[in-house]
Amino acid sequence: MASSNICSDCAVRDAALCGSLDDVELRALNSIGERRIYPRGSTIIWAGDESVICANLLSGMLKLATSTPDGREQIVGLLYPADFVGRPYAEEADHTVEALTDVELCIFPRRQFERVLDDHIRMERLLLQRTLTALQEARARMLMLARKSASEKVADFLLEMAAKVGASGCRPTPGGPLTFDLPLTRGQMADVLGLTIETVSRQLTRLKGAGIITLPGMRAVTISDRAALQAIAAAA
């Protein structure tokens, strides 16, 4: 049976929460888990719905968003492969989870996942540490959203993306220009940064004009002067 050892070929086996489990434990988790693929743009969890699933993100990117009653949206987190999805120990889902790219998830029914958590201290401990880190990140983002200017936000975001996605990007010479594809549309970038589409676009063209970046394609970015970008992100 394929499902009896889906973990063996898991791309994020070591990086994800399950990395803490031994083979016996893994089989237990295996029996309640299920791989599923969602196309880009699909909503995996709706905010306010009953919290029925948890998952590990195997590949692709997810966004985590909340919105005001009148429709203003804010992306409160971006999830990368091996990140944990969902909210154990709560009856309701806090945020809407949507696929930014095609994604592959390893899904567990929430209740059963909680039981595994209860039975496997190492896994729970890992989740605690991840959650503490996520909290720290969220708070850092609060500073950015509340106190940074549009140019700082955009520069900051480009650097973060360079760090996260840029690993796979192409860098001709070390320290030299780095090119990668943004996994987000301008509108999504705006939702992350607490700006509007127009402002994001303008800031990007400003950076292009200053010779700090180039925009070879709609989604592609090349960072040609990383130091300048860092200077902007830190201060002005």
Interaction site with DNA (CB under 7 A)? 149-151, 185-187, 194-202, 204-205, 215, 217-219
Nearer to DNA, 162 or 213 (CB): 213
Q: Which of a copy of itself, DNA, none binds 196 (CB below 5-8 Å, type-dependent)?
A: DNA
Q: Which of DNA, a copy of itself, none binds 186 (CB below 5-8 Å, type-dependent)?
A: DNA
Q: Within 125-164, which residues bind a copy of itself (CB under 8 A)?
A: 125, 127-129, 131-132, 134-136, 138-143, 145-148
- The label of the residue with tokens 């309701």 reads 92
Residue 23 β-bridge partners: none
Among 63, 95, 110, 186, binds a copy of itself (CB under 8 A): 95
Residue type, 8: S
Among 66, 101, 185, 214, binds a copy of itself (CB under 8 A): 66
By CB under 8 A, is residue 94 in contact with a copy of itself?
yes
Least spacing, CB of residue 134 vs DNA, in Å: 25
Nearer to a copy of itself, 104 or 152 (CB): 152
Nearer to a copy of itself, 37 or 142 (CB): 142
Q: Which of a copy of itself, DNA, none binds 150 (CB below 5-8 Å, type-dependent)?
A: DNA
Burial of 106 (0-12, 13-18, 19+ CB in 10 A): buried
From residue 171, alpha-carbon distances to 90, 141, 159, 221 in Å are: 44, 28, 14, 12
By CB under 8 A, is residue 118 in contact with a copy of itself?
yes
Phi, psi of 178 (to 5 degrees): -125, 125
Nearest to 162 by CA among 151, 177, 145, 149: 177
From residue 139, alpha-carbon distances to 2, 78, 121, 133, 232 in Å are: 41, 14, 27, 10, 21
Q: Which of a copy of itself, DNA, none binds 111 (CB below 5-8 Å, type-dependent)?
A: none
Residue 104 β-bridge partners: 37, 59
**Whole-angstrom distance, CA of residue 63 vs CA of residue 188:** 9
55 close to 93: Cβ distance less than 8 angstroms: no
55 close to 108: Cβ distance less than 8 angstroms: yes
Q: Which of DNA, a copy of itself, none binds 76 (CB below 5-8 Å, type-dependent)?
A: a copy of itself
Phi, psi of 42 (to 5 degrees): -80, 150
- Binding-site ranges for a copy of itself (CB under 8 A): 64, 66-70, 72-74, 76-77, 87-90, 94-95, 118, 121, 124-125, 127-129, 131-132, 134-136, 138-143, 145-148, 193-194, 234-235
